[in-house]
Amino acid sequence: MSEKKVPILDVRNLNVEFKVQDGIVKAVNGLSFKIYDGEIVGIVGESGSGKSQTMLALMGLLASNGRTYGSVKFLGQELVGLSTNKLNKIRGNQIAMIFQDPMTSLNPYLKISAQMTEILILHKKLSYKEALHESIRMLERVKIPDAKNRIHLYPHEFSGGMRQRVMIAMMLLTRPKLLIADEPTTALDVTVQAQILELLKELRQEFKMAIIFITHDMGVVANLCDRVNVMYGGWLMETASIHEIFTNPQHPYTKALLESIPSIDHEVEKLRTIPGEPPNLLQLPKGCPFQARCQLTSNNCSEIIPLQRVNPRHVVKCTQELGVKL
Amino acid sequence: MKKILEIRDLKIHFNIAGGLFKPKQTVHAVDGINFDVFEGETIGIVGESGCGKSSLARGLCGLNKITSGSALFNNIDLATANSKEWNEVHKQMQFIFQDPVAALDPRMTVAEIIAEPLETLYPEMKKTAVMDKVLATMKLVGLSHNQINRYPQEFSGGQCQRIGIARALILEPKVLICDESVSALDVSIKAQIINLLQELQQKLKLTIIFISHDLGIVKHICNRILVMYLGNIMELGDKKSIYATPLHPYTQALLSAVPVANPNIEKNKQVQLLDGDLPSPLKPPQGCVFNTRCPQAIDKCHSERPQCRLINQHMVSCHILN
Amino acid sequence: MFIKAKNLNLETPKTKGFWLSVFGRLSKNKLAMTSAFIILALTILCICVPIFSSVAYDKTNWGEIMQSPSSGHLFGTDSLGRDLFVRCFIGGRITFGIAFAAAFVVLLVGIFYGAIAGYIGGRVDTIMMRIVDVLYGIPFLFFCILLITLFGNSMALSFIAIAAISWLDMSRIVRGQTLSIKHKEYVEAAMISGVSNFKIISRHVIPNLLGVVIVYAALTVPNMIVLSAVLSFFGLGVTEPMTSWGLLIADGSQNMQAWWLLLFPASLMIITLLSFAFLANGLRDALDPR
């Protein structure tokens, strides 16, 4: 992927805040990243790292007490501050989103056929018959057996994995340029997760879309993604290609995170732990949010943290010199 | 090694009450399993949701009724134990829950929560002695003593899990059952709790029954692995050999489906994709329960349920292996 | 195996318990606090006014029949020349007394009945709840009239009638709450610790459903007030010369030209009912801050 291409999504200095009773929760702080055509970008982080709020913010789906600052450009069009009407034309059409629990976006009282054809009739102005035909084809594409008959079932008549497939099929109907997947496999069993990951990889090729995949599972990232953004305390700590992040991680948080995961491919005597707890987003420290738990912390960590480039697409937000051993 | 728990043909079924027009249905959560747990080991029970691993764990500590079979613990058969015998079992075998926050009564202080099992099962103990023990146990799990009068909602998930572990350990049990005890925690906190459990096991010579769907964690802390599917044991064996040479087709598929945090392995590996989903435990398939998804199923698999056999030091229930 | 803690004089900061923080939030709600203050003031007045007043509530004065409010008789006098101010508060005493007592019985019976039915479940639950359903079927007024014809008209009877009917709702609410709490993991943890069923109910289940119950109780008291007023309006329960708000309102509504006879007892009752409603609202918000 060359630098000259126009990114599909260009996020610059995105901030998300929530007003709550006890003050202001700074969920996302100064986030900038780009997504190019056909890429699968993983966003990893623990709960409270801001990974889900980032996506909700750029879809304009924040809770009513949330505020977004900064710029999000989708194919050159600014999304922040766009009216709901115009936003509706983009989301669900050019940007699609799937969630951890498909039932949150499927209407339990409507048959799948009704929900799928509605989208096509609305966005593509198809007739019901054409829409139904197209919907069945899409269900077949996501490998739902006997799609012709099963399209007339209700959501609860599908199993968890099948429901997620239905959801994906529904989102692909409008041929979106960008698919945002928020922990879509977390609630699924590993064997079903493997099926869905495999499916997403195939679909990416076929539909030529970019995917943002939010997860906390480093294994899934390694399986699926081309590039990773590591988030912590609302900050983007490190962004790199999948190969770089696992073989040459630079940020102390990334390194510690990778070593604290027990894996089935190698064995360690004792897991490495990150001491302490994630920061309170109501009272983020000045400077780096990881400084209290970091082994290499220094006085500079409470100042402005520089961006350091390992290579053009591997950027680290840390005061430490690159290549320091933990 | 000494057997501490002997499970023979154990079944746990749940009845779903029928309605006026609906017949009564039975969920076959655990459907006739045999295995032993040895003193001082960590045995991992893995499987997908609905495989019966949690029902089994809850059955062993009295939260689910055992339908038939036996589970012998300290000469007490858990299937037929009376309430007095159960109290003896509770002293020896404790449980750690999945959701650390929901497992603590929000209206009680940390001291009250941790002291409750001791006060209940050893009513003759003096108040000061109980308090001493509460403080000692808190220290053991890495909680500071000045937190005893706080309420659970003031703690993070990781600390709540430490409180839950302290409550279980205050009785000095021999066996600890961990039902997905670290699944709800964040990665960095998860590692802290796993290390704590390992330290405690060494220090207190605990036997741990560790239930999890995370095969990475199970590999890290267990000595032996038991693979369950739809209420049946598929494979049971030593950790090293289960992960290196899984014999049962289900174990093979399960292990190959686990994503590894290493892109070089991930990009080159062949995932054995299983078709479809877990069948309903309301009507488990005839014959081998895995036959609906098994890529190697033969005729015999559809008619006859395989027995657990010893093959290459693994207990495997499969017809196609020799 | 365990290290003994050497000394117990440790620094153990005690944090605000649940109820303290609820009270903290409640005290920030001005409307609820004002309501609570009004309720308290009315209660004190009901106790004190009849004691310290110079005229007795049943003292008839033929020279001062149907006087409009004046400095001598703040609320005026009735058709027998009795002072309405004193009568209002002696009536309040009866009304409040019956309402609080009935609410107390409702709480006690409703909580235990509902918690036991919900916690034990199964057949016990079915039988206990069917009994509630049957009692629900009895019409309230019919039940009261039946009681009175059988045992004669008395205040105790109206109290019994109100309490006997009103705990049904409470027991249903408590049962529902218990069902959800029963499956919480902390209750299961207590089971594994060998805690007896009775102790689980009293230590874990009831404290955790008190929040909902208190809100409901604050809504129950005004209900009781209205019920006792309805009974006395029909002449059941309290008898002359003793009075209650219901009786006073009934009297007043028959003498519409003497407006004060209706206005004062009715306003007192409305103020009380509104205060309880606002307090219940405030409590609900304080118990569930989100």
Check which CATH number belongs to the domain holding A14 and give it: 3.40.50.300
Q: Quote the percentage of chain B above a pLDDT of 90.
A: 67
Q: Across chain C, which distance is largest between two alpha carbons, in Å?
A: 90
Q: What is the enclosing helix (H) or strand (E) of A197?
A: helix A190-207
pLDDT at A4 over 60: no
C18 contact residues in B (CB cutoff 8 A): 106-107, 151
Evaluate if residue B322 carries a pLDDT over 90: no
Give the closest of B188, B213, B216 to A273, CB-based: B188
Asked whether residue C2 carries a pLDDT value surpassing 70, the answer given is no
Alpha-carbon distance of B273 to A189, in angstroms, equals 12
d(CA C5, CA B111) in angstroms, rounded, equals: 14
Q: Return the structure tokens found at A215.
A: 């997860």
Confidence of residue A9 (pLDDT cuts 50, 70, 90): very high
CB atoms within 10 A of CB A317: 21
How would residue B13 be classed by pLDDT, with cut points 50, 70 and 90?
very high
- Do the chains contact at B220 and A191, CB–CB below 8 Å? no
Number of domains composing chain A: 1
Using the Cβ of B140 and the Cβ atoms of chain C, whether some distance falls under 8 Å is answered with: yes
Q: Which of A27, A199, A223 is nearest to A98 (CA)?
A: A199
CATH number at residue B225: 3.40.50.300
Structure confidence at residue C231 (pLDDT):
80
Residue A67, domain extent: 9-94+174-240
Q: Among A220, A265, A272, whose Cβ lies nearest the Cβ of B265?
A: A265
Strand partners, A10: A34, A73
Give yes or no for residue B130 having a pLDDT over 80: yes
Residues A266-320: tens digit of each pLDDT: 788 888 888 888 888 888 888 899 998 988 888 888 888 888 888 888 999 988 8
CB B235 within 8 A of CB B246: yes
- Is residue A324's pLDDT more than 70? no
The residue segments making up the domain with residue B116 are 41-62+82-316
* Closest residue of chain B to A195, computed from CA coordinates: B273
Residue B37 is predicted with a pLDDT of: 95
Q: Is B63 on the interface with C (CB under 8 A)?
A: yes
The predicted pLDDT at position C15 comes to 59
From the CB of residue A139, how many other CB atoms can be counted at a distance below 10 Å? Answer: 25
- What does the block give as tokens for A167? 């959801």
Of A200 and B265, more confident: A200
**Binary contact (C3, B136; C-beta < 8 A):** yes
Tell which wins on pLDDT, A98 or C15. A98
Q: Which pLDDT band holds residue A2 (cuts at 50, 70, 90)? A: very low
Residue A221 lies in a domain: yes
Chain B residues with CB-CB distance to C4 below 8 A:
132, 136
The pLDDT of residue B188? 85
Kindly state whether residue B161 falls inside one of the protein's structural domains: yes
Residue C188, chain B, CB below 8 Å: the answer is yes
Partners of chain A (3+ Cβ pairs below 8 A): B
- Give the pLDDT confidence of B139-187 residue by residue, as tens digits: 999 998 888 888 888 888 999 999 999 999 999 999 999 999 998 898 8
Q: Does A195 touch chain B (CB under 8 A)?
A: yes
Domain-located, residue B54: yes
Q: Is the predicted pLDDT of residue C6 greater than 60, yes or no?
A: no
B110: closest CA of chain A, how far (Å)? 19
* CA gap C164, C143 in Å, rounded: 10
ipTM over 0.90: no
> C167: how many CB neighbours lie within 10 A of its CB?
26
Q: How do residues A145-193 score in pLDDT, each as one tens digit?
A: 889 999 999 998 888 889 999 999 999 998 999 999 999 988 888 888 9
C206 pLDDT exceeds 70?
Answer: yes
pLDDT of A141 above 50: yes
Bridging pattern class, strands B175-179 and B207-212: parallel
Does residue C3 sit at the B interface (CB-CB below 8 Å)? yes
Among the residues of chain B, which ranges form H helices? Answer: 53-60, 83-92, 110-121, 127-140, 157-169, 187-204, 215-221, 239-244, 249-257, 263-268, 299-303
Residue C1 pLDDT > 50: no
B86: chain C residues, CB-CB within 8 Å: 194
Spell out which residues of chain B touch residue C15, defining contact as CB-CB under 8 Å.
149-151, 154
Helices (H), chain C: 18-27, 30-52, 84-120, 122-136, 140-151, 155-182, 185-192, 197-199, 206-233, 245-254, 259-287
Per the domain annotation, does B17 fall within a domain?
A: no
Specify the DSSP element, H or E, that contains C201. Answer: none
Give the span between the Cα atoms of C33 and B48, in whole angstroms: 53
Tell how strand B232-238 and strand B224-229 pair up: antiparallel
Q: Cα separation of C135 and C158, whole Å?
A: 17
B106-125 pLDDT, tens digit per residue, is 889 999 999 999 999 999 99
Distance from CA of B219 to the nearest CA of A (A): 6
Cα–Cα distance for residue pair B183/B313, rounded to 1 Å? 30
pLDDT of residue B94: 95
- Find, among C168, C160, C111, C153, the residue nearest to C242 by Cα: C153
Radius of gyration of chain B (CA): 21
Which of B27, B33, B28, B29 minimizes the C-alpha distance to B5? B33
Check CB contact of A159 with chain B, cutoff 8 Å: yes
pLDDT(C142) > 80: yes
- Of A102, A138, A144, which is closest to residue A120 (Cα–Cα)? A138
How many domains does chain B divide into? Answer: 1
Instruction: List, in sequence order, every residue forming a beta bridge with C184; answer none if it has no partner.
Output: none
* Pairing status of strand B93-96 against strand B3-16: unpaired
- CATH assignment of C27-50+81-287? 1.10.3720.10
**What residues form DSSP beta bridges with B210?**
B44, B178
Is B195 within 8 Å of A273 when comparing Cβ atoms? yes
Report whether pLDDT(C155) > 80: no
| More confident of the two residues B90 and C12 | B90
Please indicate if any CB of chain B lies within 8 Å of the CB of A260. Answer: yes
Per-residue pLDDT at B20:
66
Q: Give the C-alpha distances (Å, rounded to integers) separating C82 from B135, C61, C232, C241, C251.
A: 69, 6, 19, 10, 13
- Give the integer Cα–Cα distance in Å for C147 and C99: 19
pLDDT digits 0-9 by tens, A79-91: 888 888 888 888 8
Q: Which of B155, B188, B222 to mutate to test binding with chain A, by most A CBs within 10 Å of its CB?
A: B188
